[in-house]
Each structure stands twice: as C-alpha cells, then as structure tokens.
Amino acid sequence: MFKFKITCDQATTICDKSQYGKASFFEILRLKIHFVRCKFCALYSKQNNRMSRILKTNTRKDAICSMTKEEKEAIRTAFEKKTSIN
C-alpha cells in the first residue's frame, strides 16, 4: 500500500499532468487514492479543472484573457500603497 501513498505536492503535479493527458494510469490511481484522505487536494483538482474548462471555452478572438499593462500597473500601485500604510 506504501506505493500508493503520495504527498500533496505530488498530487498537485499529477493533477496538472492529468489535465493534459500526460499522467499514467498508475499516477491517476495514486491520485484518486490520495483524494480519499485529502479533501484539500480534491478541491484543488476540482477548481483547477473548472478553470481550465472556462479558459478553453473562452478562446474567442475578442475574449480578454490577460490584463493590459495599465491594469497591471494600477494593481501594483494599489498594492504598494496598501503595504506602505501597514
């Protein structure tokens, strides 16, 4: 049974690999067994799959999938202002 035991770091790596069809059957089996005892990794996998599906369906030419430089700078400025107060 020790062969099937994996850490949470290994589980997230296998989860990411399985999304792209790169995980082996044995890795997926180990991942499913890990999900039985670790609800955090199961939630990570569920959310990761959901985000991937959303991004795949939102690939139209007019869809915005990243922020502009101005938006990034506004967030950076707000963050720096917030951290300098504390």
pLDDT per position as a tens digit, 35-76: 999 999 999 999 988 888 887 776 665 555 677 889 889 999
Q: CA separation (Å) from 84 to 78, 79, 80? A: 10, 9, 6
The pLDDT value given to residue 58: 63
3-18 pLDDT, tens digit each: 778 999 999 999 999 8
Is the pLDDT at 2 greater than 70, yes or no?
A: no
Q: Regarding predicted confidence, which is higher, 62 or 84?
A: 84
Residue spans per domain, the chain: 1-60
What is the pTM assigned to this prediction? 0.60
Q: CA separation (Å) from 53 to 13, 31, 60? A: 18, 20, 14
